[in-house]
Amino acid sequence: MTREYGRELGIRTRAVHVGNDVDKDSGAIKRPLTMANSYELPYDPSVLNWSDAGANLYTRNGGTNQRFLQERIASLEGGEDCVVLASGVAALSGLFFATLNKGDHVVFSDVTYIAVYRLLNELFNRKYGVETTMVDSSDPEKVEAAMRPNTKLVHIETPGNPTLKISDIRRIADIAHRHGAKLSVDNTFASPYNQRPIELGADYCVESLTKYINGHGDAMGGAIIGRKEDLDIIRAQSQVNLGGVISPFNAWMIMRGSVTLPLRMRAHNENAMEIARHLKSLPCVSFVSYPGLEDDPGYEVAKTQMSGFGGMISFGLKAGHDKCNEFVSHLKIITSAVSLGHDESLIVFLGEDDERMHLYDKRFHNGFFRFSVGIEDAEDIMSDIDQALRSAGLL
């Protein structure tokens, strides 16, 4: 149920209804979880292709819960089709595996999820002879300058993990297409509630479902959204043959979590804006990176492609390495843990010995915090930060 009344239904309606229906067998108003590895074969199985993707044959080829989730995610992202896999990284590696061949060239953002950096900068190039160029994609001219006749893919992440650097999706889509390449955008930090790369011209959108879309910190998954003809290839190569299939249970959990994505994102957006302003007002804070702040380097572009600025903030303290760890140790509501987009607030201190620190702009060089602002009461989150800063002697 994506269209009714002569128009596309709103994102809150789609998050509730697309991919769900009354179960024909039982009459249950929620589709059941189907934990089965295989589906009954037809009278003459020789008519089947054992590598068929999407079919109810064997759960690595396709299954009901993953298909329902694919319908929902495609609808939320405004894409034609979707493949869901075991994790966000399974989606990224599946996309790269299916779209890049020996001798092809890929251009990618210098600020990305760490696995993208490893896959493209260390593995695909050395193991499979894929040419790779890392660029500062917040400057579209640098993307243009990096394009080669054999460039097949441009991969960007915006906002980028962990610095929240913003890249202009429309302009980079134009550049990629003019050079005969495709554009993929990792949309995990924004979520489809705040930004829909396919509608802005991207060919592929990648999501870690582990983060905002599931939203409850209890199931991992990943998705690639795009055109059916492209996704048929990815499904065949990366789901059926690489095998990074999602468990039906996790697909069912993410289906359940995604119902409240629009409501949660509104709370994340509101809380993060308020907390970014609060952090900025504190004398011991050296900088705050949040694309919703009017003086943020990414604000102007973010405003044109995001309808909300998300729940992720990076910030620094005027304090040494040890004091930064001490501050975190005093937090009571905010938990020190990786991952993001969960209901609860999570923080990570990224110290100056992080190997990619030199790629980030100078503000980040002395260590910084990546803060996933949760949906708790903003006032309580701010009190928690303030008391921890005071306990560490910073406020």
Which residues of the shown chain bind ligand PLP in the complex (CB under 6 A)?
A: 87-89, 113, 157, 161, 186, 188-189, 208, 210-211, 220, 222, 340
Q: Which of 202, 214, 210 has its CA nearest to residue 175?
A: 202
List Cβ neighbours of 101 (8 Å cut-off, separation of 6 or more). Answer: 130, 152
Q: Which is nearer to ligand PLP, 220 or 319 (CB)?
A: 220
Q: Least CB distance from residue 34 to ligand PLP, whole Å?
A: 23
Please count the other Cβ atoms lying within 10 Å of the Cβ belonging to residue 16: 16
- Which has the closest alpha carbon to 111: 166, 69, 42, 31? 166
Residue closer to ligand PLP by CB (options 110, 282) is 110
Output the smallest distance, CB 210 to ligand PLP, in A: 3
Tokens of 151: 């460039």
Q: How far is the CB of 208 from ligand PLP (least distance, A)?
A: 3
- Nearer of residues 238 and 392 to ligand PLP, judged by Cβ: 238
Q: Least distance to ligand PLP from the beta carbon of 394, Å?
A: 28
Cβ of residue 326: shortest distance to ligand PLP, in angstroms?
26
> At its nearest, how many Å lie between ligand PLP and the CB of residue 10?
26
Least Å distance between CB 338 and ligand PLP?
Answer: 8
Nearer to ligand PLP, 133 or 188 (CB): 188
What tokens appear for 227 in the block? 């055109």
Nearer to ligand PLP, 89 or 317 (CB): 89
The least distance separating ligand PLP from the CB of residue 311, rounded to whole angstroms, comes to 12
Question: What's the burial of 76, exposed, middle or buried (CB within 10 Å: 0-12/13-18/19+)?
Answer: buried
Cis peptide before 42 (omega within 30 of 0): no
Closest contact distance (angstroms) between CB of 187 and ligand PLP is 8
368: enclosing H helix or E strand: strand 368-372
Query: What is residue 221's DSSP assignment?
Result: -
Q: Cβ of residue 154: shortest distance to ligand PLP, in angstroms? A: 16
Closer of 213 and 273 to ligand PLP (Cβ): 213
Q: How far is CA 205 from the centre of its chain?
A: 9
Distance of CA 116 to the CA centre of its chain: 12
Sheet holding 285-289, edge to edge: 285-289, 312-317, 368-372, 346-350, 335-336
What amino acid is encoded at 386 in this protein? Answer: D
Q: Which residues contact 364 (CB under 8 A, 6 or more apart)?
A: 163, 289, 314, 316, 350, 357
CB 349 within 8 A of CB 369: yes
In whole angstroms, give the CA distance from residue 357 to residue 129: 27
Q: Which is nearer to ligand PLP, 168 or 186 (CB)?
A: 186
CA dihedral 160, 310, 294, 174 (to 10 degrees): 50
CB closer to ligand PLP out of 312 and 381: 312
Q: Is 159 or 316 the residue whose CB approaches ligand PLP more closely? A: 159
Rounded Cα distance between 54 and 64, Å, is 9
| Nearer Cβ to ligand PLP (210/271) | 210
d(CA 2, CA 77): 12
